Structure formats: structure tokens, C-alpha cells
Chain A
Amino acid sequence: MKLTIIRHAIAADPVEGQRDSARPLTGAGKRKFEGVVKGLERLGISFVHVLHSPLLRAVETADLLSDLVEGELRASGLMARAPTKALLEELSEERMALVGHEPYVSELVAWLATGDRKLARAFPFKKGGVVVLEGEPKPGGMHVAALLTPRQLRAIGRKR
């Protein structure tokens, strides 16, 4: 399968008394991620389904992806915590995207690509960054097909 893992776009800093889960994307974060989506579109990347964390910044990021989604966008608590086997069991479709948070998205890439979650630091994500994996969704069963920063994707999206 082809699995695209995405870190949420740039979110507002926490304000006093606000829950972390309530932090929205900033205006610039939304605009920049719209550029990322254009880049993905230019590369011909689309998804059958998207699983996203329920935290507002991930929900908003997933919504910005919706033009690339043929099927459903689904909320999943498994995307707001360290990756588990339960998450891998959800990865059934041929082309899926996951939208989540650091350090979990790096841990997930390390786990799927090497079998060792502790190698997460070798796969850093910028906010709005994208990693494409291919192979079988099991520990060590996938390889990194692309690691794209948001800036690279925005540049691809701007190209005529």
C-alpha cells in the first residue's frame, strides 16, 4: 500500500486557560498548507481515506486535504498518541493518509520503515510536512518513497 503521513499545519501558540486540543491553525498556517495541498495535487497524490487526530489543528489540516480525498475523512484517537498495533490494523486501504502530531508521526514512520520506533529522530517532520511510505503496513514492512517539506511542496504547487 501507499501510506502518506502528514504532520498538522502551523497552529496558534497556546493561550492561558486553553486546552491544547483547542489550538486552531493560524491564518498563515492555513494558507501555507493550501500550498502544500496544491503541491500534492500536482504530484498526482490523492487518497481513498484519511485518518486524522481529533485535536482541532489536525481536524482543520485534514479538512484542507478534503479535495484530494475520494472516500471518507475519519476521526481517530489512535492518531493522537504513540503508534500502536491497533493503528496499524486500521491501515487497510490502498491509498491512505494519516494526519497527526509529533513525535508520534516520526515514531510511526520509523516503526514502519525500520521496525524500531526509537529511530524517530531520523525522520523529522516540519509542520505541514509529508512522508510517503510504500509496502506492507507492519513494523519494518515499508520503505520511504518520499520525504517532502512543506516548502518543497509549495514550490511544486506553484510551478507552471
Chain B
Amino acid sequence: MRSSQQDERRIECGRWREALLERIDVARAGRDSEGVHGLRVACARLDVYLRLLGWRVLRADLRWLRRAASSVRDLDVLLAQSDLPDAFRAALQAQREPAREQLLAVLAHQRCGALLNALEELPPLHFASAQRRIRKLATRVALLGLNARRPDADVDALHALRRALRRLRYAHEWLNREPKTARRLQDELGALNDVVVAQRQLAALGLTATLHEYDAALSERLAQQIQQVRGAWQEASGAILGGEA
């Protein structure tokens, strides 16, 4: 396609709005935990669509919905692990139903209905302006990546990189581009997040002292995972800083 034709292209968000509706139904029915995951992904993709539109409005609503889904999803991911100490597993299982009740309350709230109605009327994205905004997202990834390489970079810096990288990938996908993202880097960042979530849950449940051996194992895994992320960034940074991510 010639670039002038491409610049005039318009992109609609309908498919991901439909996906969000479908996944809300699945999450409500509670038959499949992937429905909650899908709901979270659809929210993140629509957030990127709004960023590409240059809008701030509706993003807090998506964040609110996504947060409720994340509470359930994070517990599901942890509970799927086979090496959890019994006391931790039992405490997580006790949290699962209240988290699901909270998600159902969010889905039934008028704010959720208003968000879905508003998403139905979103204007199309203009390819050229979306492309300009993608460059900003890529710059952010590059800056966060450089920051993450510093020896004193903490877990929060790596999380910020994970989120920025995910936004950049979704942004490319909105423009129907195959993102040459660093798959390994994303996987390593995802694995890092899983360890952090486990450690935070353990602390929130007041089990860090009781399960100190497990906590120490998580800390060790965290340190290893940070090294894995740094290695993956080294591998991927050329493509990312060169604008291919």
C-alpha cells in the first residue's frame, strides 16, 4: 500500500469492544478463568486505542474495570502453581470468592454500562496521527529500557518497562502491523511480574514470617528473574531502540 493511501486509512475499535463484551459475559458466568484474563487484555487494548486517539477520557473507567479483573486473575495464576505451601494456597483460595464478588459488582455497576455505551461510539483512528503517537510510545519504551539497565534499577522500573512494552505492541497491532517485539523480553518480564505478585500477596496475607523459607525462595527467584530481564533487554534493545519493536 502506498504511504499516502496508508495515511488516510481509518481504524475502528469495534472488534475489541465486541471482544470486551464477550469476555464480560464469560467472566460473569464464571465457567472459564480465561474469560477474566481476556477481559483484562481487552481493557488494555482499548486503553491503547484511546492513547492513540490522544484521549484521556474513559481510560480511568477501563483501569477501574481492569483492576477488578486483575484481582481475580492474579489469584488464578497463583493458584495454578503446583509448589505453593498449603497455608498460602488456603489463604489465596479464601480470597478468590470475595474477589470474584467484587468483579461481579463492578460489572453490574452503572459506570460499567456507561463505559460500554461510550466505547460503542468511539471515533475511528486516523493512521497518520496514530503513527505519530506510536513514536511517543516507542520513545518511552527506549527510555524505560535504558533506565532498567542501571544496576540500581528496582522492580518498579522493570514493571514500568513491561507496561510500556505491552502498550507499544498493542499499538502496532491496532495498525495491523506485526510487531517485531522481543518475545523473550516480554516473557521474562511476565515471569518477573508473577514472582512479584506472589511476594506481595504473601506479605498482604501476613504470611511472610510464617512461610519464611518460601519467601526466601521467592526472593532468590526474583533476583534471578531480574538478571534474566536484563539479559533479554540486552538482546532486544537493538531492535527496540532502532524502532522495530
Interface residues of A (CB under 8 A from B): 19, 21-22, 24, 52-56, 59-60, 62-63, 66, 69, 72-78, 80, 86
Tell me if B98 counts as interface (CB < 8 A to partner A). Answer: no
Pairs A–B under 8 Å by Cβ, sample size 16: A54-B114, A54-B118, A55-B118, A55-B121, A56-B121, A56-B122, A56-B123, A59-B58, A59-B118, A62-B57, A63-B57, A69-B56, A73-B58, A74-B111, A75-B58, A75-B61
Q: Pick the contact of B110 from A22, A24, A77 — CB < 8 Å?
A: A77
Q: Are A56 and B118 in touch, CB under 8 angstroms?
A: yes
Tell me whether A76 and B110 are in contact (CB under 8 A): yes
Q: Which residue of B55, B56, B115, B123 is within 8 Å of A54 (Cβ)?
A: B115
What 0/1 readout, one digit per residue, does chain B (107-123) give for beta carbons within 8 Å of chain A? 00011011101101111
Shortest C-beta distance, A33 to chain B (Å), equals: 13
What is the size category of the interface that chain B forms with chain A? 10 to 19
Known: A63-B56, A66-B56, A74-B61. Is A21-B121 also a contact (CB below 8 A)?
Answer: yes
Q: B120 and A77: CB pair below 8 A?
A: no
A73 x B121 contact (CB < 8 A): no
B60 contacts A by Cβ under 8 Å: yes
Q: Is the interface of B mostly helix, strand, loop or mixed?
A: helix
CB-CB nearest in chain B for A22: B121
Pick from A54, A73, A77, A80 the residue with the most CB of B within 10 Å. A54
**Beyond A56-B118, A62-B57, A77-B111, 14 extra complex contacts between A and B, CB < 8 Å:** A21-B117, A21-B121, A54-B118, A55-B117, A55-B121, A56-B121, A56-B122, A59-B58, A59-B118, A59-B121, A69-B56, A75-B118, A76-B114, A77-B114
**Residues of the A chain whose Cβ atoms lie less than 8 Å from the Cβ of B117:** 21, 54-55, 75, 77
What residue of chain B has the Cβ atom nearest to residue A79's Cβ? B114
A53 to B117, CA, bound (A): 10
Are B57 and A73 in contact, with the CB atoms below 8 A?
yes
Q: Closest B residue to A69 by CB, please name it.
A: B56
Beta-carbon contact of A24 and B57 below 8 Å:
no
Q: Give the Cβ gap from B224 to chain A, nearest Cβ, in Å.
A: 38
A136 CA to B232 CA in the complex, in Å? 56
Nearest CB to that of A64 among chain B residues? B57
Given A24-B123, A54-B117, A54-B118, the answer on whether A59 and B110 have CB atoms closer than 8 Å is: no
In the complex, A156 Cα to B178 Cα: how many Å?
49
B134-171 contact mask (Cβ, 8 Å, vs A): 1 or 0: 00000000000000000000000000000000000000
B43: min CB distance to chain A, Å: 14
Q: Which residues of A contact B122 (CB under 8 A)?
A: 56
Ranked 3 nearest A-B pairs via Cβ: A72-B60, A54-B118, A75-B114
Residues on A with C-beta less than 8 A from B61 are 74-75
For the complex formed, measure the closest distance between the CB of A82 and the CB atoms of chain B, giving whole angstroms. 14
Q: Knowing A76-B110, A76-B114 are in contact, say whether A52-B121 is a contact too (CB < 8 A).
A: no
